[in-house]
């Protein structure tokens, strides 16, 4: 069974739980029995037909998966090996993780270290790996805790939540721009409302770096208030993919605007990011922001994401209890 988005003759899209169509494997293909998956913003986009990456339907959703090889037509992947799959078209152009079985091939899956539990690998997921890539980029830009606060927008979501936990563990002061409450507010963490658009070309310099998941005017206002020489990372477009950007922050303050796309990062580096996230986030800290749901609960949680009412990470238990 898998959660599949189908396009109706009316042009609308519908999420349905349907039998997985398992066909004979081709050479190089691997059949994975999925244990856990997770929910991400992209799943809600695919369900509404608004994910530009998904060109054909039906499409099984789920951009992350962890499971065990049940059949393999690739001699490098032995039956019984545990694999993790993160993005790489999973759930958008390839059969996703919200299914009892999925077919993959070398290049997409990672063999997970024995020390990392399946549950934690999905709690981190694509969102956590993206957060880790941002943290590494902030550090390699030469930004240190003494440089000043790091702004995170859409901070209640998976990427923002995990990034803020990591930065806090590294001693950075974080400022979380969020519509919701419930985020930890302590000496190293400040909560502010979402950034508003402004007609000023520049604002007082505040942030040493920014991790923006919203795009649109949030990104523009963040750029206007970043310190000279600072770094702004654009990772998402929950607000809007378009913005009215001027060159002032770049020309007058020498700010760097950089994009992060996890799919452009090779498996070797993804493995390092996974180790980095695992080491930095003790289970008891990370799991405080993780909701574990059952397979049949998926439509309800996808709906919460679509309505902007979802926060933290949601892991889906896919395998039926033994």
Ligand X SMILES: NC(=O)c1ccc[n+]([C@@H]2O[C@H](COP(=O)([O-])OP(=O)(O)OC[C@H]3O[C@@H](n4cnc5c(N)ncnc54)[C@H](OP(=O)(O)O)[C@@H]3O)[C@@H](O)[C@H]2O)c1
> SS3 for 268?
helix
- Max distance between CA atoms of the chain, in angstroms, equals 62
Q: Output the smallest distance, CB 65 to ligand X, in A.
A: 15
Q: Output the smallest distance, CB 146 to ligand X, in A.
A: 27
- The answer to whether residue 46 forms part of the interface with ligand X (CB under 6 A) is no
- The answer to whether residue 286 forms part of the interface with ligand X (CB under 6 A) is no
Q: Which of residues 168-207 bind ligand X (CB under 6 A)?
A: 178-180, 194
> SS3 for 21?
coil
* Gap between the Cα atoms of 148 and 171, Å rounded: 11
Give the number of residues in contact with ligand X, rule: CB under 6 A.
Answer: 31
Cβ closest to ligand X, residue 68 vs residue 267: 267
Q: Which residue has the tokens 């992350």?
A: 64
Residue among 135, 214, 273, 286 that touches ligand X (CB under 6 A): 214
Q: Output the smallest distance, CB 181 to ligand X, in A.
A: 9
Q: Which of residues 101-130 bind ligand X (CB under 6 A)?
A: 126-127, 130
Cβ closest to ligand X, residue 246 vs residue 261: 261
Q: Which residue has the tokens 């402004």?
A: 198
Per-residue contact string for residues 244-283; x = within reach of ligand X by CB under 6 A: ----------------xxx---------------------
Q: Output the smallest distance, CB 125 to ligand X, in A.
A: 8
Residue among 3, 13, 41, 295 that touches ligand X (CB under 6 A): 41
On whether the CB atoms of residues 291 and 310 are closer than 8 A, the answer is: no
CB neighbours of 284 closer than 8 A, spacing ≥ 6? Answer: none
- The answer to whether residue 305 forms part of the interface with ligand X (CB under 6 A) is yes
Cβ closest to ligand X, residue 96 vs residue 239: 239
- The answer to whether residue 88 forms part of the interface with ligand X (CB under 6 A) is no
- The answer to whether residue 154 forms part of the interface with ligand X (CB under 6 A) is yes
- The answer to whether residue 310 forms part of the interface with ligand X (CB under 6 A) is yes
In DSSP notation, 86-145 reads: E-TTBTTTB--SSBSEEEEETTS-EEPPTTS-HHHHHHHHHHHHHHHHHHHHHHHTT--G
On whether the CB atoms of residues 36 and 118 are closer than 8 A, the answer is: yes
Residue among 2, 96, 128, 160 that touches ligand X (CB under 6 A): 160
CA torsion, points 297, 303, 306, 309, in degrees to nearest 10? Answer: -80
Q: Which of residues 215-244 bind ligand X (CB under 6 A)?
A: 235-239
- The answer to whether residue 158 forms part of the interface with ligand X (CB under 6 A) is yes
Cβ closest to ligand X, residue 126 vs residue 227: 126
H/E segment holding residue 221 = helix 216-224
Q: Which residue has the tokens 């001693």?
A: 171
> SS3 for 252?
helix
**Burial class of residue 230 in the structure, from the number of CB atoms within 10 Å of its CB (0-12 exposed, 13-18 middle, 19+ buried):** buried
Q: Output the smallest distance, CB 319 to ligand X, in A.
A: 23
**How far lies 33's CA from each of 18, 36, 84, in Å?**
16, 10, 11
- The answer to whether residue 143 forms part of the interface with ligand X (CB under 6 A) is no
Cβ closest to ligand X, residue 147 vs residue 217: 217
- The answer to whether residue 156 forms part of the interface with ligand X (CB under 6 A) is yes
Which positions lie near ligand X, rule CB under 6 A?
A: 40-42, 126-127, 130, 154-160, 178-180, 194, 213-214, 235-239, 260-262, 305, 308, 310-311
């Amino acid at each position: 069974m898998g959660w599949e988005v189908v396009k109706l003759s009316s042009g609308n899209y519908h999420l349905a739980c349907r039998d997985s169509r398992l066909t004979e494997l081709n050479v190089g293909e691997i059949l994975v029995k999925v244990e856990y998956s997770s929910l991400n913003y992209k799943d809600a986009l695919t369900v509404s037909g608004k994910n530009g990456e998904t060109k054909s339907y039906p499409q099984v959703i789920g951009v992350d998966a962890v499971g065990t090889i049940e059949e393999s037509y690739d001699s490098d992947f032995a039956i019984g090996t545990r694999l993790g799959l993160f993005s790489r078209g999973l759930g958008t152009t390839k059969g996703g993780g919200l299914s009892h079985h999925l077919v993959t091939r070398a290049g997409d899956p990672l063999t997970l270290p024995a020390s990392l539990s399946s549950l934690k690998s999905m709690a981190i997921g694509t969102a956590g790996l993206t957060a880790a890539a941002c943290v590494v980029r902030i550090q390699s830009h030469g930004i240190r805790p003494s440089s000043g606060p790091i702004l995170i927008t859409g901070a209640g979501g998976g990427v923002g939540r995990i990034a803020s936990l990591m930065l806090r563990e590294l001693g950075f002061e974080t400022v979380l721009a969020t519509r919701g409450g419930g985020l930890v507010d302590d000496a190293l963490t400040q909560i502010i409302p979402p950034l508003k658009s402004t007609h000023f070309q520049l604002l007082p310099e505040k942030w040493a770096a920014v991790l923006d998941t919203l795009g649109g005017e949030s990104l523009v206002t963040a750029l206007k208030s970043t310190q000279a020489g600072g770094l702004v990372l654009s990772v998402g477009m929950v607000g809007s993919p378009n913005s009215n950007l001027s060159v002032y922050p770049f020309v007058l303050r020498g700010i760097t605007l950089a994009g992060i796309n996890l799919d452009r990062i090779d498996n070797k580096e993804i493995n390092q990011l996974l180790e980095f996230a695992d080491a930095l986030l003790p289970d008891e800290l990370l799991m405080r922001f993780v909701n574990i749901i059952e397979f049949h609960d998926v439509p309800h949680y996808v709906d919460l994401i679509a309505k902007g009412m979802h926060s933290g990470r949601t892991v889906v238990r896919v395998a039926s209890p033994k």
